[in-house]
Amino acid sequence: MRRIRPLLVAVVACGTIAACEEQLESGVACPSLCPQQAAGMKDTTFDAVEYDTAIAGYPPTGAETELLFADRPGVLDARVIVRFDTLPAFFKHTNFPDDSAITSIDSVIVRLRISRSDTLGPSVTIDAYDVDIDTTGIGPVDDTTRAALLAQFTPDRVVGSRTFTALELGDSIAVPIDPSFVLDRILDSSGTGRRRLRLGFKMSASQPAEFAVHASNAGYPPVLFIRQTGDSTIQTNIDFAYSSTPATDRAVAAEVADFQLIAAGPPPPPPNVLRVGGAPANRVYLRFNVPSAILDSSDVVRASLLLTQRPNPGSPSASDTDYVTPFEIVSGAAVTDIRRALVFLGFSMDSISLAPGDSAVRSFEVIDVVRRWRGTSPTRTPRSLALRANREGRSAWQADFFGRGAPPAVRPQLRLTYIPQSRAGLP
């Protein structure tokens, strides 16, 4: 019996504990025996945008994963800049114990890995330009700006060219570079002190054409091949895109090893129109003013951003559909530069598929970000979000929306469905 007692207690205790799992929810007697439902939902649509703007230049220079080549007269002229700021001075000669100095070059090519192409399109010609800026006597120059670089695309600075048929735009393209030009840079024969290659690639075609190559950020950097002799037994020197400037910021330098240059883009939108996408790509910034009586004192269950799309039939790819996506902006109030704030994009929300040539009221579901504004102070946590095109930086696709300065019927609005809070509970 003494042995049974502890076992008995354990059995009773375990049985009691096991029986304590609750299953509370009962609805079979509703509504007779159930609580009255909470107050009905309310719905309101209002002009909630207190500030809006669209800013071009995204993704930021050097942050691209694709580099676009485009020749669309009057619409888009897209070029590619690549830097090879380290050049080999020696090569490994067959059966020689030591490296040999480079004193001659047989051939040089730059290989670009294709990411998107049209193998049914026209033949294209890729010209390579020397875009290295001689700053002697003129002081420091920001050699990533459009104006500074465009000035280098002159006929006397062409250092290589090749025509490719559409079928050749498959895996990659190899653009030949003048070997004497490269040798001059390796040996610094001109005494410029610039032992580097900075090349600008420009496409031309008999018809509008475009294709894209991978950027270094995509893991497929442009590659420079230097063959010293025609002897195939001698190893070819291989160099990857690399930038040594700005010397004071290695992170920026890494970004500008290769980057996009938009020589000409679509015309800007008219006033009171917010453009998403394009070339260079625009992002839209919207800042909201939502009444605290709704945001903080009610439970918002649905939030829809209503934007009226302005038809843009003259847009590149006007009939092509693509997505526009709203993003939460995660930068705080300390970031007052909107261009910079638009870099800090957090989670994305429901995206809308549309064609630039269409017109309609587009409804973006933004409940996730509106709920995060609850209980926050707008002076510390700006109530803002961004719009971004899915093809940003990879095409000139763009969509236009009316801004808050447009006529009332087409202004941006916010539709909120909410449940007024009631502190229920007394029987």
Partner 1 sequence: MIRTARRLWRPLIAALTLTASAVTALGAQGTLSTQGLGFPPGQLSTKAATMGGAIGEADPLSPLNPAAISLLTASVIMMQAEPEFRLLTFGGASQATSVSRFPLFIGALPIRSKWVVMASASTLFDRTWGTTARDTQVVGTDTIGATVAQLSDGSIEDVRLAAAYTVNSWLRLGVGGHAYSGRDVLRTIRNFDDTLRFALDTSRSTLGFGGGAVSLGAEALWPKVAAVGLSYRRGGPLRTYQGNDVVRTSSAPDHVGVSLLYLGIEGTTLAVRLARDDWSRSAGLSPTLAVHEGLDLGLGADVRGPKFGGGSMGLRAGARWRTLPFSNGPTAVREQTYSTGLGLPLGPRAEVSVGGLRAFRSGPAGASESAWTISTGFLVRP
Q: Which residues bind partner 1 (CB under 8 A)?
A: 1, 5, 8-9, 12-13, 15-17, 19-43, 297, 299-302, 304, 350, 365, 367-368, 371, 417, 419-427
Contact 397, 391 (CB under 8 A): yes
CB of 263 to partner 1, least distance (A): 42
Measured from the CB atom, is 43 or 99 closer to partner 1?
Answer: 43
Q: How far is the CB of 423 from partner 1 (least distance, A)?
A: 4
- By C-beta, is 11 or 333 nearer to partner 1? 11
The smaller minimum CB distance to partner 1, of residues 102 and 385, is found at 385
- β-strand partners of 335: none
Report yes or no: 57 and 388 within 8 Å, Cβ to Cβ. Answer: no
Cβ 50 to partner 1 shortest distance, Å: 24
Give the SS3 label for residue 66: strand
* Residue 129 beta carbon to partner 1: minimum distance, rounded to whole angstroms: 50
CB closer to partner 1, 5 vs 380: 5
Q: Least distance to partner 1 from the beta carbon of 309, Å?
A: 19
| Residues 86 and 196: beta-carbon distance below 8 Å | yes
Considering only CA atoms, which of 364, 149, 408 is closest in space to residue 272? 408
R_g of the chain, CA atoms, integer Å: 31
Q: Write out the two tokens for 177.
A: 């570079």
Which parts of 92-171 fold into alpha helices (H)? 146-150
* Residue number, 31 or 193, with CB nearest to partner 1: 31
Q: Which is nearer to partner 1, 41 or 254 (CB)?
A: 41
Question: What stretch of H or E contains 352?
Answer: strand 352-354
- Put residue 31 in one of left, alpha, beta given phi > 0 → left and psi -120 to 50 → alpha: alpha
Q: How far apart are the first and last CA of the chain?
A: 51
Measured from the CB atom, the residue of 291 and 314 that comes closer to partner 1 is 291
In whole angstroms, how close is the CB of 313 to partner 1 at the nearest point? 31
Q: How far is CA 406 from CA 30, 273, 384, 415, in A?
A: 50, 8, 20, 18
Strands 42-46 and 209-214: unpaired
Q: Which is nearer to partner 1, 145 or 297 (CB)?
A: 297
What is the smallest separation between the CB atom of 152 and partner 1, expressed in angstroms?
Answer: 51
CB 291 to partner 1: min, Å:
14
**Measured from the CB of residue 389, what is the shortest distance to partner 1 in angstroms?**
22
Whichever of 22 and 98 has its CB closer to partner 1, that residue is 22
Closest CA to 344 of 352, 335, 356, 353: 335
- Please identify which residue in the block is written with the tokens 């240059």: 261
At position 141, the amino acid (one-letter code) is: V
Give the separation between CA 79 and CA 201, rounded to whole angstroms.
6
Q: Are strands 398-402 and 172-177 parallel, antiparallel or unpaired?
A: unpaired
Whole-number minimum distance, CB 400 to partner 1, in Å?
25
Residue closer to partner 1, measured from CB, 12 or 151: 12
The backbone torsions φ and ψ at residue 6, rounded to the nearest 5 degrees and listed phi first, read -60, -40
- Residues 281 and 55: their CA atoms lie apart, in Å, by 8
3-state SS class at 114: strand
